[in-house]
Structure 1
Amino acid sequence: MADRDNRAGLQFPVLIGDIGGTNARFAILADAGSDLGQTHIVQTASFASIDEAVQQAVLADSPVKPRSAVFAVAGPVDGDEIPLTNCPWIVRPKAMFSTLGLSDVVVLNDFEAQALAVVALGDEHLEKIGAGEPEPNASRVVLGPGTGLGVAGLIHSGGKWIPVPGEGGHMDIGPRSARDHQIFPHLEKIEGRISGEQILCGRGLVNAYRAVAAADSNTPRFSKPAEITAAALAGSDAVAEEALRFFVTCLGRTAGDLALVFKSRGGVYLTGGIAQKIVPALKEGRFREAFEDKAPHRELMRSMPVYVITHPLAALSGLAAFAQTPARFGVETDGRRWRA
């Protein structure tokens, strides 16, 4: 059973890990006042399990042996065995007592960590997209297209920042413009439906690119997200350019929908490698136009700022902030904390 006592702090040193579908990032916090130590970034496909990755990539060369761990994983946290949504790893916190020598393990959703990062990072790690100013202590939204589409809210209550994880990347998304109605029939579906993740992630961008090509009976040239993004930003492939415009528009619509749900006057924050790479496209105006096009609430949407988080290890920063100052955050660990 997971420990129900979420009041006590973690014992240092603390191993922190951000486990995505493609990459896993680890670091060790020596104490409550230290900065992140050396960061270890590994491909999940290179290791059979998270335990093996930590042992070989982190602990083998570290003079510091962690006593506790906080992991953020791409998937819902439920039970003593936690499968990841887009990765074959299964996190087994109780087994880590023996395999990794830990005595205390907390497992959060990966976008909870991204939400924590929003208040842990400074302005130097934020790139603003359009107008609007944040209201102090107002609700915020974080979303990030990556291996999948992650979504989380962040609300302030009782003097604490409270992350609200969810599976918002799997909301339905549909066509609006005449061109959308030409493209959408060619998008690959999951069990008959098109969710945000079918467009707004790496494989989703490929899906969009192929659909744009098919809509005009063109033959696609590229098969990887990075190729499509590079060609679009360079202006060297018309299909790639339209696919990225379509991607940016759909991202703006989805971000606007989520901003309405949370009434996020504190801002909307785009995170992950894809958002960082397409900042020029996000700044062209198409994103904000789609974001604000929410009649009868255009004025409300115009007032909400949007930022791209540019910190390369934002989730680790969020986890570190939680490990060092847990009283600042209302993170519920009931059912998500295991003690030896």
Structure 2
Amino acid sequence: MDPPRLLADIGGTRARLGLEVAPGRIEAVALHSCDDFPGVDALLSAYLRDRGNPPVRHAAIAIANPVAGDAVRMTNRDWSFSVSGLERALGFSRLVVMNDMVAMAMALPRLAPEELHKVGDAGEPCTGVKVLLGPGTGLGVGALVPISAAAGGDVPETWMPVASEGGHVSFAPADETECRLLAVLWRRFSHVSAERIVSGTGIPLLHSALCAVNGVPEEPAATAEDVVARARADDGSTAAQCLSVFSAMLGGIAGNLALAYGARGGVYLSGGVIPRLGERFDVAAFRRRFEAKGRFAAYLAAIPVWRMAAGDDVALRGAAAELDRVLQSARTA
């Protein structure tokens, strides 16, 4: 392997950086507040300077933002940069910038068994397309496609990530209650996306709309944590119903993505929302809606769903894998 490779996972609030000093070995991991830096160049420069400016030639950035072309402008922070300009300014031979869900997807084949928890009992692991769905602040979507297999075996040797903005597809109600919820939300938004309500920021909005549908006085909930706390305090509350409806909606979206991508390799759930829900994540409602696709119910029943329980460095691991894939492709081109 060449000299240390710089890896960065940049979100709207915080950035995690590390150095890959050997294949799969990431050291000097540091977490920084984005508020402390005027831009990505200053962030990366400060990190390298604090570590004695190691001779980095190759670097990868996973960023919570669509990446298309050379110009990158963050949607949740007033940062923008040119990929080629940043590459030149920091003296890199190659800088690869990717959507954070691409990095997460590239990490999937490298996760240890203990980093995955099965959601429900249905489905068994098999080789094929993998779909990643990440309810966090928003609703991230990505996929991983097997390209080639090792000689004499069925296990993929090469994977190709697929970037997606699938969280912004139109929300599709699946029962009468959800139709009424959508009607309430349409009063506020011309387009109600899946992310609008099936995300951490969407849970309070979903709770508010459900109060309107049920005809009960609304108890304002500023955060998803507020809704979870009320649900835990009262099983019969609108908050408890909200989290069950949320779980079912997430299952429906996951099922749609599994069909769209032909995800026989499984659906993987990431993001911070499900851990925060804890026991209030309704696994039965999720799996029931996941499979409720009419003539394709049996097809979906065979697809496993996993919840990722990997460490905070999983995006760095995936960014390292994608950087390695890009460099390998360049060598064989």
Q: TM-score, normalised by structure 2?
A: 0.86
Q: Do the aligned partners of residues 156 and 55 (structure 1) sit closer, same or farther apart at CA in structure 2, a change above 3 Å counting?
A: same
Distance 1:19 1:125 in 2: 22
1:6 maps to what in 2? none
Deviation at 1:285, TM superposition (A): 0.6
Identity, % of aligned pairs?
Answer: 31
2:112 maps to what in 1? 122
Q: Do the aligned partners of residues 242 and 53 (structure 1) sit closer, same or farther apart at CA in structure 2, a change above 3 Å counting?
A: farther
1:317 maps to what in 2? 317
Distance 1:189 1:45 in 2: 35
Deviation at 1:188, TM superposition (A): 6.3
Which stretch of structure 1 is more off in the superposition, 312-321 or 245-254?
Answer: 312-321
Structure 2 residue 196 is matched with structure 1 residue 198 = yes
Which stretch of structure 1 is more off in the superposition, 288-297 or 230-239?
Answer: 230-239
2:11 to 7, 13, 20: 20
- Segments of 5+ residues of structure 2 without an aligned counterpart are 150-157
Query: Which string of whole-angstrom CA distances, capped at 9 and with x for unpartnered residues, describes residues 47-95 of structure 1?
Result: 3312223334x23422352332101122322232211233322232233
* Secondary structure class of the residue paired with 1:36: strand
Distance 2:123 2:203 in 1: 30
Contact 2:267–2:305, Cα closer than 8 Å, also in 1:
yes
* Secondary structure class of the residue paired with 2:65: coil
1:267 maps to amino acid: G
Structure 2 residue 78 is matched with structure 1 residue 88 = yes
Q: Do the aligned partners of residues 293 and 208 (structure 1) sit closer, same or farther apart at CA in structure 2, a change above 3 Å counting?
A: same
* Secondary structure class of the residue paired with 1:193: coil
What is the RMSD of the two structures over their aligned residues, measured on CA atoms? 2.7
Deviation at 1:180, TM superposition (A): 1.5
Aligned ranges 1:98-247 → 2 under 5 Å: 99-159=89-149, 160-187=158-185, 192-215=190-213, 216-233=215-232, 235=234, 238-247=237-246
Deviation at 1:22, TM superposition (A): 3.5
| Higher RCO structure, 1 or 2 (CA under 8 Å, sep 6+) | 1
Contact 1:117–1:318, Cα closer than 8 Å, also in 2:
yes
Q: Do the aligned partners of residues 11 and 148 (structure 1) sit closer, same or farther apart at CA in structure 2, a change above 3 Å counting?
A: farther
Question: How many residues matched?
Answer: 320
1:318 maps to amino acid: G
Deviation at 1:130, TM superposition (A): 1.0
- Segments of 5+ residues of structure 1 without an aligned counterpart are 1-9, 335-340
Distance 2:45 2:210 in 1: 44
Deviation at 1:296, TM superposition (A): 0.6
Q: Do the aligned partners of residues 234 and 49 (structure 1) sit closer, same or farther apart at CA in structure 2, a change above 3 Å counting?
A: farther
Deviation at 1:223, TM superposition (A): 0.4
Q: Do the aligned partners of residues 101 and 125 (structure 1) sit closer, same or farther apart at CA in structure 2, a change above 3 Å counting?
A: same
Query: Which string of whole-angstrom CA distances, capped at 9 and with x for unpartnered residues, describes residues 255-281 of structure 1?
Result: 000001112111100011113333533
